[in-house]
Amino acid sequence: MSRLDPHSYADDAQPRTKSFDWKASVDFSTQVLHSEVTLRFVAPAPGGSLDLDTRALAVDAIVGPHGEALEHTLHPAEPILGSRLEINVPRGAESITIRYRTSPEASALQWLTPEQTLGKKHPHLFSQCQALHARSVVPCQDTPSIRQTFTASMDVPSSLRAVMGAAFVGRDVHDERAVERFEMPQPIPPYLFAFAVGDLASKDLSPRSRVWTEPAQLDAAAWELAHVEDHIRAAESLFGPYDWERFDLLVMPPSFPYGGMENPRLTFLTPSLLAGDRSLVNVVAHELAHSWTGNLVTNATAEHFWLNEGFTVFAERRILEAIDGAEMAALHAAIGYEKLLEAFVLLAREPELTKLRTHLTGVDPDHAFSVVPYEKGYLFLKTLEAAAGAEAFDKLLGTWLRRHRFGSATTEDFLALVEQEIPGLLAKVDANAWIDRPLLPASFWKPESARLAAVQKVAGRVPTKDESKAWSVTEWHLYLETMPKRSPIAVCQELDATYSLTTSKNPEVLVSWLILACSSGYAEVLPRVEEVLGQTGRMKYLKPLYRALDGRSETKQLARDLFARFRGRYHPIAQEVVRDLLK
């Protein structure tokens, strides 16, 4: 008897879920899902306890395969794990059925009133299950080491559409209500369970990809994402066939807490991507890349998160290189490196979190989240690639993806494969230092390029018009990231007067600028900061902006006032994280 994962009650001696059938009736008036789930096991139960993960669920009944009531205990909630639901499963049972309701405070769900949507007429609901939030929607073995297929049906107001990270099966309308049915043939870890309900319309982008969003921004979304098929083709030629049939995209309400979420068959994207210049499609490349790294080969627990994100950043920049060229990929790598150095400073008191392989017993993965697994993971893989040679490394990557296809993997699995395929490589790059020690080892791969060098030449001062005339938004973003976070007010004034950064339409450039300006005490930007904090729920922007305000005595109170004012607009996960940060 032992736990499979520090973040789940799932026990390796108990029945393992193979698939589930989920039904939910969506009640917008009470913000509750009235649900039923049947869990089907890999093998008939040996008889005895089954521990499931739940968070804030009300359990109404649990029955066995013949409809017989099953004894169960819903244990008191633990702060990170939630409540263990212990069920006495009879010997030989191949399934159990649980009737339950979600809470209006379900951590995975955000319920939006009509006023909080673009169209202002209809309510909206969406889920975000990574890291530990699937359990607030479905009682389940909520560990990525257990993959499951599922069927689902959602009963929604007939004026709305339901979409899921699954194959659409059908929609039946009965007056005021519609039932939408789905099926997920590919087994997934629970954190990839995903749906949204709202006034949604779609437009085809290619035979295997369409974009969904509120009608008012459908055209803008379709324009921004028009080239998605080029990305899929580039990715397939790098990593092998796309195994999930469809790659649809859902552009979310502004409160979506992430840039993107790789929900299988239906990637969720922040609307802040719709910059009108296609400059942020690296996020699409990233979520697409997860179709191989993360969704096909999944980290066994959150302690191996770098296997998901480090590999995906590596794959994202390979796709970017294929489409936009090596210079562009190098600029992105350099931005990533700057962000990694900032993260090391922020995590100075938690150096444990700067190891690739983390130890997270008693630590919430949403708290441990940082760019470290992304950018340190990326640098580790680039360092391995440089030491092995590109060809040998590509072969290794192919073997990794084939060996663990539709499975889960640990850091140790990866190290064992490297040692087996390219003996001596780990020692050559000092792999132990990467995996088990904080910060970066003494030597590592660094991006090099002409455009990168041109930006680095200007670092620390205001560029002349001539120096910056050929800069793309990516170069501006990098330049702002390389600026010292406390720069003289005169430098801020000159930058803004010459380049109108406060009115930038590109959110990466805008937010980098606002952070620099706030940290430097350049108060002219505060109205714009307030606007951004009120308009977006993307944590990548909220966290550093609130932190910058909190970091200066003149704006410390403002940070608290703005959070009190806007917090109701943010997703429960973002509320929690910002509250944590302002503590």
Q: Strands (DSSP E) along 225-313, which ranges? A: 248-251, 260-261, 266-269, 297-299
Q: Which of 180, 287, 303, 385 is catalytic?
A: 287
In the complex, least distance from residue 128 CB atom to Zn ion, rounded to whole angstroms: 13
Annotate each residue in 367-396 with x if it binds ligand BES (CB under 6 A) or - if it does not, as one string: --x----x----------------------
In terms of CB distance, is 20 or 374 closer to ligand BES? Answer: 374
Whichever of 89 and 297 has its CB closer to ligand BES, that residue is: 297
d(CA 160, CA 349): 47
Binding segment for ligand BES (CB under 6 A), chosen from 56-64, 281-289, 377-385, 495-503, is 281-289
Which partner, Zn ion, ligand BES, none, binds residue 475 by CB below 5 to 8 Å per kind?
A: none
Q: How far is the CB of 541 from ligand BES (least distance, A)?
A: 10
The edge-to-edge listing of strands for the beta sheet with 177-188 is 58-63, 95-101, 32-41, 17-27, 148-157, 177-188, 167-174
DSSP SS3 for 52: strand
Residue 511 near ligand BES by CB under 6 A: no
Stretch that binds ligand BES, among 46-54, 160-168, 253-261, 325-333 (CB under 6 A): 253-261
272 binds, among ligand BES, Zn ion, none (CB under 5 to 8 A by kind): none
CA distance 331 to 337: 10
**What's the first-to-final CA gap in the chain, in angstroms?**
39
Q: Based on the residue annotation, tell me whether 100 is a catalytic residue of this protein.
A: no
Please give the structure tokens belonging to residue 511: 């937010």
Q: In this complex, which beta carbon is closest to ligand BES, that of residue 130 or of residue 408?
A: 130
User: Closer to Zn ion at the Cβ: 24 or 250?
Assistant: 250
Q: Which residue has the tokens 């790789």?
A: 262
Is the distance from CB of 503 to CB of 472 less than 8 angstroms? no
283 versus 346: smaller Cβ distance to Zn ion: 283
How far, in whole angstroms, is CA 195 from its chain's centroid?
15
CA distance 100 to 55: 12
302 in Cβ contact with 368 (< 8 Å): yes
> b/e for 276-289, b at 16 or more Cβ within 10 A?
eeebbbbbbbbbbb
# residues near ligand BES by CB under 6 A: 16
The active-site residue out of 100, 337, 374, 479 is: 374
Question: Which residue type, as a one-letter code, is found at position 198?
Answer: G
CA distance 449 to 468: 16
Beta-bridge mates of residue 195:
164
Does 537 engage in binding with ligand BES (CB under 6 A)? no
Burial class (CB in 10 A: 0-12, 13-18, 19+), 479: buried
Q: Please give the Cα distance from 253 to 245 (Å, whole number).
A: 26
Q: Does 130 bind ligand BES (CB under 6 A)?
A: yes
C-alpha distances in angstroms, 512 versus 228, 231, 378, 430, 545? Answer: 27, 27, 22, 34, 9
> Rounded CA gap, 142 and 81, in Å?
10
For residue 287, state whether it binds ligand BES (rule: CB under 6 A).
yes
Active site residue 374: yes
Residue 287 CB, nearest approach to ligand BES (Å): 6
Would you give the binding string for ligand BES spanning residues 294-313, x where CB under 6 A is met?
---------------x----
Nearer to ligand BES, 26 or 129 (CB): 129
Give the span between the Cα atoms of 77 and 26, in whole angstroms: 25
Residue with Cβ nearer ligand BES (82 or 123): 82
Interacting partner of 261 out of Zn ion, ligand BES, none (Cβ under 5 to 8 A depending on kind): ligand BES
Q: How far is the CB of 540 from ligand BES (least distance, A)?
A: 5
Residue 137 or 261: the one with the smaller Cβ distance to ligand BES is 261
Minimum gap (Å) between residue 283 Cβ and ligand BES: 4
User: Which of 238/523 has CB closer to Zn ion?
Assistant: 238
| 283 is a contact residue toward ligand BES (CB under 6 A) | yes
Distance CA 249, CA 256 (A): 14
**What values do phi and psi take at 99, rounded to 5?**
-100, 130
Region binding ligand BES by CB under 6 A among candidate stretches 285-293, 389-397, 485-493, 553-561:
285-293
Shortest reach from residue 187's CB to ligand BES, in Å? 18
Q: Does 261 bind ligand BES (CB under 6 A)?
A: yes
Q: Which does 370 bind (CB under 5 to 8 A by kind): ligand BES, Zn ion, none?
A: none
Check residue 422 for interaction with ligand BES (CB under 6 A): no
Q: Strand pairing partners for 212? A: 202, 250
Q: Strand runs (DSSP E) across 401-523, as ranges?
A: 407-409
Residues 6+ apart with CB under 8 A from 9: 3, 51, 52, 53, 81, 84, 141
What's the number of CA atoms in the CB half-sphere (13 Å) around residue 278? Answer: 11
CB of 130 to ligand BES, least distance (A): 4
293 interacts with ligand BES by CB under 6 A: no
User: Which residues within the stretch 297-316 sit at the binding site for Zn ion (CB under 5 A)?
Assistant: 309, 312
Contact between 259 and ligand BES (CB under 6 A)? yes
Q: Which of 58, 55, 59, 57 is nearest to 78 (CA)?
A: 55
Q: Does 566 bind ligand BES (CB under 6 A)?
A: no
Name which position in 16, 23, 135, 286 contacts ligand BES (CB under 6 A): 286
Interaction residues for ligand BES, span 348-367 (CB under 6 A)? none
Task: Give me the least distance between CB of 576 and ligand BES, in Å please.
Answer: 12
Is residue 135 close enough to count as binding ligand BES by CB under 6 A? Answer: no
**Which residues form the interface with Zn ion (CB under 5 A)?**
309, 312
Active-site annotation, residues: 287, 374
**Which residues form the interface with ligand BES (CB under 6 A)?**
130-131, 258-262, 282-283, 286-287, 290, 309, 369, 374, 540
